[in-house]
Structure 1
Amino acid sequence: MSELKQIGDRKMKFKTMALSLAIAGAWSLGTGALSAQASTTQHIVSQKKVAKFGKVTGNSAGSLYAFQTSEGALTLRATHQLRNFKHTAWEISKSALVQKANGKTYRYYYVKALGAKQTAKGWVWHRYLKTPKTVKLGAPYISQQAVKAWMGCESASLLEGLHYKGVLKSTGLVAFMKHLPRSKNNNPNNGFAGSPYKVTPGVFQSIFPKPLAKWGNTYTPVKNISGAKLSQLRAQLRRHNPVVVYVTLHFAKAQYGHYFWGTGINNSHVMLLDGYRKGGYHVADPNHGKYWVSAKKFARSYNYKHFAVAVE
């Protein structure tokens, strides 16, 4: 074989190899492109309803989104900018885990604005929210003393909560108590025992959480959450739900009495819990007005019974 022919054969082999590599490379690039295209889509890994809880805007750089899915691919459409909701409290009802194009997963919460901006709702990255250190709802004060309802603290506290929620705002305590459910056998587990306007000897004059919640629920969602821990009371406040709490008068040590239906606290008192901060709780007390009480005093007094009714 001549030298020129050998050189020609070598060039032909190089061209053939180059073409083969190019084709292989094209297939490789094509496969890679398809893989890259697949990885650029984002999708929902999991989504579920959660027990409702509350947080506030932490980082106002983010947005609220609407989730839109098509053939498994997820698109996030911005609906609201958090910079317009810098001091807003949110109620969280759902949680979703979203896998982004980079392969990482991100937790999103479905939120609804509480208070004045109730129309705002959507999905938000959970790290844009935070748990507030202080909450003060500003529930109104209704005096039981002003209408001489000496034993009417439960009714007054419930009405404070209803007024905060915008319910029965033109109804005063006297008119409200005309609908107070009464116990025929003076058992506070069935309704109010005795009279809210006078002391009845031998009768434990109160209405306990179950019938109180049932009464309140005829006007707006009201729930008996008796047994709730203090952390659960704070969680209710973060959702803008004031809580009717059963404590002791002046947060003193409990004085027990025995009745046909069971044991009661003779120096019991009821008020509306509407705030908390480090070291304290804020109440609207129908007997003494609105004030802060130390966390230690409140906890000791509340923990005797753990009786509570949330106005939702």
Structure 2
Amino acid sequence: MIKKVLVTLLTGVAIGSFGLVTAQAATQHVVSQKNVTTFGKVTGNTRGKTYAFKTTDGQLTMTANHKLASFPKTAWAISKSALIQKANGKQYRYYYVTSISKGKKSYSGWVWHKYLKTPSAVNLNAPYISQNAVKAWMGCESASLLEGLHYKGALKSTGLVAFMKRLPRSKNNNPNNGFAGSPYKVTSGVFQSIFPKPLAKWGNQYEPVKNMSGASLSKLRSQLRLHNPVVVYVTLHFAKAQYGHYFWGTGINNSHVMLLDGYKKGYYHVADPNQGKYWVSASKLARSYNYKHFAVAVQ
């Protein structure tokens, strides 16, 4: 009888090196959390929820705040990542997400990463602006940037001619400093362009614009998933590059600029100020873009 009572008393306790220690219930807690370079995904499984996190004395409380069923195919911007250990001892990856909706209220919370997916296709359907309609034969950079600004809702009542009156010019015809030459005529011996750094600086006067030069096409696709169209420097008709040498360095004489606003398997969608809106094969655009990796994202 004494033995039976002792066994009962020991139920739910563990023997430590210094005596009897009461067993602790498994807790739910954050193992690690960090900010990440913002990237985009979309709702993949509407059975899930987003949560608000609250930690008290190391114990994590997760309170549901939104049902994913209310956000089918919604695009989400991911800015944080957290590894959560739940009471069952298993660890789960959660992302902090904010819904992306033009001109609408945004929603946010933590969501299990497997409820999101990378979209197989995106088409922002950015507006088209023709450089040829105003005889701005060399104005593709300005037109492409304005397309992106209009998509974001900036300068919507401003046309290309009025916009180019604000175009920053290079006093020494170096496109690294501003636009070289004239957007309305061909100037012999001058590389008539404005490169990403000064273009981004100009665009930042109206909307957040980021110089993405050096970025891979996969990073540009991530910008599109965040609803950010990208000004890309390619070649005219996606042809083989024709190089020229100038006092500031080497340029591509058949360079051209357009707005990248979508993708799907095997193709990219562009708003080309010279030829309109269309799908181009991924291989053609990749070859043309990879000559310089020049890009500016309108965010």
TM-score by length of 2: 0.94
Q: 1:35 deviation in Å?
A: 3.3
Is 1:293 aligned with 2:280?
yes
Match of 1:29 in 2: 12
Is 1:182 aligned with 2:180?
no
Contact 2:12 2:23 in 1 (8 A): no
Count of equivalent residues: 293
Mapped partners of 1:118, 1:298: distance in 2: 35
- Structure with the higher helix share, 1 or 2: 1
Match of 2:83 in 1: 97
Contact 1:283 1:291 in 2 (8 A): yes
Q: What is the correspondence of 1:147-226 to structure 2 with a 5 Å cutoff? A: 147-226=134-213
Equivalent in 113, 119, 122 of residue 135 of structure 1:
122
Structure 2 residue matching 1:160: 3-state secondary structure: helix
Contact 1:283 1:290 in 2 (8 A): yes
Q: 1:23 deviation in Å?
A: 4.0
Is 1:258 aligned with 2:245?
yes
Q: Which amino acid aligns with 1:71?
A: D
Partner deviation per Cα, 1:131-158 (whole Å, 9 max, x = no partner): 1111111111111111111111000100
Partner deviation per Cα, 1:179-226 (whole Å, 9 max, x = no partner): 110000001010000111111111111000110011111212111111
Match of 2:18 in 1: none
Contact 1:272 1:285 in 2 (8 A): yes
Q: 1:34 to 1:106 in 2, by over 3 A?
A: farther
Comparing 216-225 and 26-35, the one that deviates more: 26-35
Mapped partners of 2:288, 2:29: distance in 1: 50
Q: What is the correspondence of 1:107-118 to structure 2 with a 5 Å cutoff? A: 107-116=93-102, 117-118=104-105
Larger Rg: 1
Mapped partners of 1:132, 1:119: distance in 2: 20
Q: 1:300 to 1:226 in 2, by over 3 A?
A: same
Structure 1 residue matching 2:11: 3-state secondary structure: helix
TM-score by length of 1: 0.90
Structure 1 residue matching 2:134: 3-state secondary structure: coil
Mapped partners of 1:238, 1:197: distance in 2: 34
Mapped partners of 1:126, 1:149: distance in 2: 47
Aligned-residue RMSD, C-alpha: 1.6
Comparing 228-237 and 266-275, the one that deviates more: 228-237
Deviating 4+ runs (over 4 angstroms): 30-34
Q: 1:276 deviation in Å?
A: 0.8
Comparing 212-221 and 186-195, the one that deviates more: 212-221
Q: What is the correspondence of 1:207-246 to structure 2 with a 5 Å cutoff? A: 207-246=194-233
Structure 2 residue matching 1:214: 3-state secondary structure: helix
Structure 1 residue matching 2:233: 3-state secondary structure: strand
Q: 1:260 deviation in Å?
A: 1.1
Mapped partners of 2:223, 2:63: distance in 1: 30
Match of 1:6 in 2: none
Match of 2:51 in 1: 65
Structure 2 residue matching 1:269: 3-state secondary structure: strand
Q: 1:24 deviation in Å?
A: 3.8
Percent identical pairs in the alignment equals: 75
Mapped partners of 2:256, 2:190: distance in 1: 15
Mapped partners of 2:284, 2:33: distance in 1: 41
Q: Which amino acid aligns with 2:23?
A: S
- Structure with the higher strand share, 1 or 2: 2
Q: Which amino acid aligns with 1:50?
A: V
Equivalent in 287, 290, 299 of residue 303 of structure 1:
290
Match of 1:48 in 2: 34
Mapped partners of 2:132, 2:272: distance in 1: 11
Match of 2:270 in 1: 283
Comparing 87-96 and 259-268, the one that deviates more: 259-268
Q: Which amino acid aligns with 2:32?
A: S
Mapped partners of 2:231, 2:193: distance in 1: 13
Mapped partners of 1:94, 1:300: distance in 2: 33
Mapped partners of 2:76, 2:110: distance in 1: 11
Structure 2 residue matching 1:271: 3-state secondary structure: strand
Contact 1:112 1:118 in 2 (8 A): no
Partner deviation per Cα, 1:32-83 (whole Å, 9 max, x = no partner): 99636x21x3111110001111111100000111001222111111111100
Partner deviation per Cα, 1:253-303 (whole Å, 9 max, x = no partner): 111111111111111100000111111100000111100001111111111
